[in-house]
């Protein structure tokens, strides 16, 4: 009977619908030694929660003083000046880089058009060659007709 109640409480616990009293009941059940075999898998989890609840942070947390805060603001001022300088440097020298990229693109387009012209010329010459082959085929057929009649 008790294990059925505990099973229901575990299901409610995983659905996050348990109350504080029900969670205390679960911790008490899993902290005692006699747990049913089907619920033994949850024992380490509840033992961890019990141990973690007792842990305390013992180190001292350093607090900033007013002098440290003003010192940090001073560093941020210099940091912003450096950022503006870096931005101006990037704009000045970045413009040359983009101009170089544009020039390379213009050269690539010009090379593309020259190659296209050369390939068109080659295609025209191939077309002329195929026309001549057509004449040769017609000549061959006529020659075969003449030889076959004899």
pLDDT in tens, 6-34: 888 888 888 888 888 888 888 888 777 77
Q: Quick check: is 37 in a domain?
A: yes
pLDDT for the residue numbered 103: 92
Cα–Cα distance, 1 to 78 (Å, whole number): 72
Residue 90 has what pLDDT?
Answer: 84
Residue 72 lies in a domain: no
Per the model's pLDDT, the better-predicted residue between 110 and 24 turns out to be 110
User: How many Å apart are CA 147 and CA 150, to the nearest integer?
Assistant: 6
**Residue pLDDT, tens place only, 127-145:** 787 777 777 777 788 888 8
Domain count, the chain: 1
Q: By C-alpha distance, which of 79, 80, 6, 71 is closest to 41? A: 6
For 2: left if phi > 0, alpha if psi spans -120 to 50, otherwise beta; the answer is alpha
List pLDDT tens digits, range 51-94.
777 777 778 766 665 556 555 555 677 778 888 899 888 888 87
Residue 41 lies in a domain: yes
139 in any annotated domain: no
Average pLDDT score over residue span 27-53: 78
Burial 16-30 (b: 16+ CB within 10 A, else e): eebeeeeeeebeebb
Q: Report the percentage of the chain scoring pLDDT > 70.
A: 87
Tokens of 59: 């180190």
Residue 75: per-residue pLDDT: 64
Residue 117 resides in a domain:
no
Residue 61 lies in a domain: no
Asked whether residue 50 carries a pLDDT value surpassing 70, the answer given is yes
pLDDT, mean over the chain: 80
Residue 15's Cβ-side half-sphere holds a number of Cα atoms within 13 Å equal to 9
Six-digit token string for 61: 């947390």
140 within domain boundaries: no
Look up the domain containing 20 and give its range.
2-54
């Amino acid at each position: 009977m008790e294990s059925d109640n505990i099973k229901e409480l575990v299901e409610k616990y995983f659905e996050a619908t348990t109350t504080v009293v029900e969670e205390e009941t679960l911790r008490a059940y899993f902290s005692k030694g006699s747990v049913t075999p089907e619920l033994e898998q949850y024992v380490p989890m509840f033992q961890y929660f019990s141990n973690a609840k007792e842990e305390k942070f013992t180190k001292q947390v350093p607090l900033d003083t007013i002098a440290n805060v003003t010192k940090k603001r001073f560093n941020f001022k210099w940091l912003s000046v450096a950022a503006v300088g870096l931005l101006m440097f990037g704009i000045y020298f970045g413009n040359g880089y983009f101009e170089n990229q544009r020039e390379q693109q213009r050269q690539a387009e010009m090379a593309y058009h020259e190659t296209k012209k050369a390939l068109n010329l080659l295609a025209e010459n191939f077309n002329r060659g195929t026309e001549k082959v057509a004449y040769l085929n017609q000549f061959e057929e006529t020659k075969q007709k003449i030889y076959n009649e004899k």
